[in-house]
Structure 1
Amino acid sequence: MSFDRDSLAAAIAAQGEVVRVVVVSAQGSTPRGPGTAMLVWPTGQQGTIGGGALEWEACAMARARLGQPPVTVTLPLGPAMNQCCGGTVTLALESFAEAPPEAPAFARPVSDTAPAEPPLAFARALTATRNGSQPAGIAHENGWLLEPMTTPRAPVWIWGAGHVGRALAATLAPLDHIALTWADTSADRFPQTPPVAPTTGDLPALAATAPPTAHHLILTYSHALDLALCDTLLARPAASIGLIGSATKWARFRARLAASGHAAAQISRIRCPIGDPTLGKHPQAIAISTAAQLLSMLEKQANAAMRGDMTG
């Protein structure tokens, strides 16, 4: 988890001053861990720290803190909150009228009893982060809070705004470790209130601009467009490529992609069908199982990267 400056800036632009609630520490059984955050304003919120009584209480406290100095509170998740978790969560509540400057990490006091200077460990961590020798992690000490501000988000591109595309976009958009791009040929193919800003244009041309680390999910209204996207993406790096379709559609696509000069090993990079066919063809069922596949893939990649960092 990291301090999502972009989301904070967007919320301030849309809502005015907002309060950011972040879990700074957690002991025992708790809904979410340190670094989990949400934004709260008088008429709504963005994100979640776990729901239930904890979130209800945190939202009420946050709205009371609008325009006020930061504060840190510790909440026991037991009988007093009608919960049986048994853990304890410490939250920092900060009111923001503007987003902080961009930086690798963000250190600041979140308590009126915090000393004027940050702990020595924070100063060392900030220096290591700035010179690139070590990434920052979340830390809470002596009334000060340190959070990384540069955790990368996995780029995911959804191609198509039909029923499955809409269900999939709605499922993935709230996830803060995904940077979602949702593309189709024209704006009128999207719902009136899309969960992310639509991208429109020539889809194969757009695909050629995607970052090489992007995950692609192809489900347009046109088989010809699907095939053109597959052709474009096979000619360049991609983290993964998924295609909606039946066994018959995939057999025809394999033959046509081979005829276009793609080797069998390249064509096998495409996963078709996406999702779990045993769960049925309802758009929401396809979206849920496809999202689960993607999240599992991202988790494996993150664990592999962590093992590499530990052994490198």
Structure 2
Amino acid sequence: MSCAVTDLSGFLADHPSVIRVALTRVRGSSPRNAGTEMIVSPGALWGTIGGGQLEHIAIDAARAMLRDGALQRELDLPLGPEIGQCCGGRVELRLTRMRASDKRAALDRAQADAAALPHVYVLGAGHVGRALAQQFQHLPVQCILIDTRPEELALNTAQVETRLRVLPEADIWQAPAGSAFVVLTHDHALDFLLTSAALERGDAAYVGMIGSATKRAKFKRWARTHCDGQSIDGLTCPIGATESRDKRPAVIAAFVVAEVMARLTAETAATASCEALKTPMSGNKPGLEGRLA
């Protein structure tokens, strides 16, 4: 069971009376997309619908339902000066008191979401690899930390999957389409082998190899000679390249994680933008008081 599902299960067990707040429709700019949900108890929260005044209004409405015994409520809110926000969009919310069946359905959704998360393979459990795992564990990905050295894997404390492998390239071959691969082993020859395997797939969302411009040039020559002229156009090397010269593992990892997540979420962002363009705002809406009734 994933950490997210475990957390939700614990929350529902600790808070028997809860309201599910779901974004059912989004038009224009909004902090979160349609389908996002948050669960509200009298004194705690699980999840978020974007924060700000929108979330405060939803929380107040949900807790009023818990006090009053209400079962369901609909809200239609402009994300503008009426509620102290400036996103410019509009959202519709459905607030529902959760029965046992609703809680089971929420856990099923969380499990399905966890299973659908993109895979990030960190190939090398040295200082930077472990720093990457520490950061990826908090993000919506399935992070797998792989190494040939048991002593390095034993130093990992992140809540990610770890794999001790003699042939880590086998994990690359078996990875789902759209996975990300970050190669940073203790051996340059192994780095070249694993990077070549990741590029050969042709369907990776991200392939990165730690190193310098010189290492990239050496890998290009190696791939041309040993991999039938393999192109390295899809390779990111150096990884996490910025103006920063800070070489501490946690700092390097932060830049690499940002790079990987930008690549993994690019399609999601493009889809959300297209959906927003399909749903223009309407000016013929009732006042705020009517929408909160």
Q: TM-score, normalised by structure 1?
A: 0.59
Evaluate the alpha carbon distance shift between residue 31 and residue 233 of structure 1 in structure 2; reply closer, same or farther with a 3 A threshold: closer
Aligned to 2:10, which of 2, 11, 14?
14
Size of the alignment, in residue pairs?
A: 247
Offset of residue 246 of structure 1 = 0.7
1:162-203 deviations in whole A, cap 9, x for unaligned?
A: 44663576368534xxx43332335534335x3xx3232213
Deviation of the 1:214 alpha carbon: 2.2
Q: Within 5 A, what are the aligned runs for 1:282-301?
A: 282-283=251-252, 284-296=254-266
Counterparts in 2 of 1:63 and 1:243: CA distance versus 1, 3 Å: farther
Q: Relative CO higher for 1 or 2, CA cutoff 8 Å, sep ≥ 6?
A: 2
Distance (whole Å) between structure 2 residues aligned to residue 30 and residue 150 of structure 1: 23
Match of 1:45 in 2: 46
Aligned residues of 2:21 and 2:94 also touching (Cα < 8 A): yes
Query: Shift of the alpha carbon at 1:56?
Result: 3.3
Alpha-carbon shift at residue 62 of structure 1 (Å): 4.4
Correspondences of 1:1-312 after superposition (within 5 Å) = 9-16=5-12, 19-27=19-27, 30-40=30-40, 42-46=43-47, 48-62=48-62, 69-78=71-80, 81-85=83-87, 87-94=89-96, 95=98, 96-99=102-105, 153-160=117-124, 162-163=127-128, 166-167=131-132, 170=135, 173-175=138-140, 179-185=141-147, 187-192=153-158, 194=159, 197-202=160-165, 203-239=168-204, 240-259=206-225, 261-281=226-246, 282-283=251-252, 284-296=254-266
Paired residue type of 1:34: A
How far the C-alpha of 1:272 sits from its partner, in A, is 1.6
Gaps of 5+ in 2: 276-293
- Equivalent residues of 1:77, 1:87 under 8 A apart: yes
Secondary structure in 1 aligned to 2:85?
A: coil
- CA distance in structure 1 between the aligned counterparts of 2:108 and 2:202, rounded to whole angstroms: 29
Contact 1:165 1:219 in 2 (8 A): no
Identity %: 29
CA contact (8 A) 2:119 2:179 kept: yes
Q: Counterparts of 1:189 and 1:198 in 2: how far apart (Å)?
A: 13
Supply the distance in 1 between the matched residues of 2:163 and 2:186 (Cα, whole angstroms): 14
Mark the runs of 5 or more structure 1 residues left unpaired by the alignment: 1-5, 104-147, 307-312
Shift of 1:245: 1.6
Give the Cα–Cα distance (whole angstroms) in 2 for the partners of residues 101 and 69 of structure 1. Answer: 20
Please state whether the residue corresponding to 2:105 is helix, strand or coil.
Answer: coil
* Contact map agreement 2:119 2:144 (CA 8 A) in 1: no
- Which structure shows the bigger proportion of residues in helix conformation? 2
